[in-house]
Amino acid sequence: MKVIYQTSATAKGGRNRHVKSIDGILDLEVRIPKEMGGSGGYTNPEQLFAAGYAACFDSALNLVMRQEKIATGTQSEVTGTVGIGQNETGGFQLSVKLSVSISGVDKEKAMELVEKAHSVCPYSNATRGNIDVELEVI
């Protein structure tokens, strides 16, 4: 693979302290969610992953819509839902649900576009076969 862009972020204190990108634009306190026994009240890695996946998938979807010559002005929205839980071996595992809305496109065509975006999106390609990813057109 020829790398087009790369970045880095550093975590200090794991899920219970701080993350910062190399350029300082991302600079956040993180905490364990209340549902996992933490204090909550801050962002957490699952929220960051959900936001990144949703943004990346929506970009892939817009690329596919341009390639398919879907009318300009068509709006799409992707909500990423990330779950975390314990797996059978005692470790932890993620799950993802991507809920997609595309204005002005019937549900069948929308699902076709979503499936094509799923084959293009770098997050989808990185997670394929590793975690469950559910695709939904709303």
Q: Domain of 112: which CATH number?
A: 3.30.300.20
Are 74 and 84 within one domain? yes
Are 91 and 30 within one domain? no
Are 37 and 103 within one domain? no
Please, which contacts does 116-121 make with residues 24 or more away whose CB atoms are closer than 8 Å? Answer: 116/64, 116/68, 117/57, 117/60, 117/61, 117/63, 117/64, 118/57, 118/60, 120/60, 120/63, 120/64, 121/56, 121/57, 121/59, 121/60, 121/61
Are 19 and 78 within one domain? no
Residue 38 structural domain: 1-43
Query: What is residue 74's predicted lDDT score, i.e. its pLDDT?
Result: 79
Q: What is the pLDDT of residues 8-41, one digit of tens each?
A: 999 999 999 999 999 999 999 999 999 999 999 9
CA distance 103 to 130: 31
Query: What is residue 72's predicted lDDT score, i.e. its pLDDT?
Result: 65
CATH of the domain at 37: 2.20.25.10
Are 24 and 91 within one domain? no
Q: What is the pLDDT of residues 61-118, one digit of tens each?
A: 999 999 999 986 779 999 999 999 999 999 999 999 999 999 999 999 999 999 999 9
